[in-house]
Amino acid sequence: MRDITGCVAMVSGANRGIGEAIAAALHADGWALSLGARDLASLEASAARYRTDVASGGDLGVGGGPAVTLHRYDATDGGAAERWTSETIAAHGRIDCLVNNAGVAYPDDFEELTEDMLDEMWEVNAKGPFRMLRATLDHLRRSGEGRIVNVISMSGKRVRGTFAPGYAMSKHAAMALHHSVRHLTFGDGIRCTAVCPGYVQTDMTSGFGVDSSIMIQADDLAQALATILRLPNTASVAELLVTTEPETIA
């Protein structure tokens, strides 16, 4: 397994749900963190649950453990990726891992789906990761063992009946982006993993009408990912599919 001491991971949407769980798991593993979210106050409260010496902006904070910095990141802002990347380099001096986790979901069926909903999901779920990858790619290449994680969804692998067609459209696009970048960067020592869970017990899924007792726990998903990120370059996991029930994946 890799020694990730001194390595820096950027995690978007780190203020709640899957992103919060990933940030906590990576911090426990020893990663220094640059965390991004649209709601900075929520991000500060989230990070305080596993780190008591967190500082905002470019201040690394004091105390034991790896450094953590907090940054405002809005995936709908075309310049946010470049700003956050620049702030991360200024604070940490390097980027070894990018976790594209920020996302938005409208579960409306086709006849109720609006163009405004579709535009927002396209902006956040597809263009957001695209911009972050463009902004960080050179830094990840310099790492020599860079890692890219795209938190997608089982909705990026299949369409579940009439459920959330717009969300599936945006996540299929994100999956195409993932594999394009995976092939592009393999020779640079970068390894890319698409995380595709079914229903995860988070705020996002609370209104989906699914029994929460069968849902994946965010902490379990994060632990699986933390293990993958410690694998050497000779053990690349292109996709991590985690489901709550049998799936038919075309």
Q: Dump pLDDT digits (tens) for 42-72.
A: 999 999 988 755 444 444 444 456 899 999 9
- Reply yes or no on whether 167 is catalytic: yes
Please give the distance of CA 22 from its chain centroid, rounded to a whole number. 8
Non-local (6+) Cβ contacts of 140 within 8 A are 95, 96, 97, 98, 146, 147, 148, 185, 188, 190
Active-site option among 73, 106, 167, 199: 167
Residue carrying structure tokens 């978007």: 12
Residue carrying structure tokens 């990933």: 22
Q: pLDDT (tens digit, 9 = 90+) per residue, 79-129?
A: 999 999 999 999 999 999 999 999 999 999 999 999 999 999 999 999 999
144-159 exposure pattern, b = at least 16 Cβ within 10 A, e = fewer: ebbbbbbbbbbbbbee
How far apart (Å, rounded) are the C-alpha atoms in residues 123 and 30?
32
Rg from Cα positions in the chain: 17
Which of the four pLDDT bands, split at 50, 70 and 90, describes residue 207? low
Residues of the chain above pLDDT 70, percent? 91
Given a cut of 80, whether residue 75 has pLDDT beyond it is yes
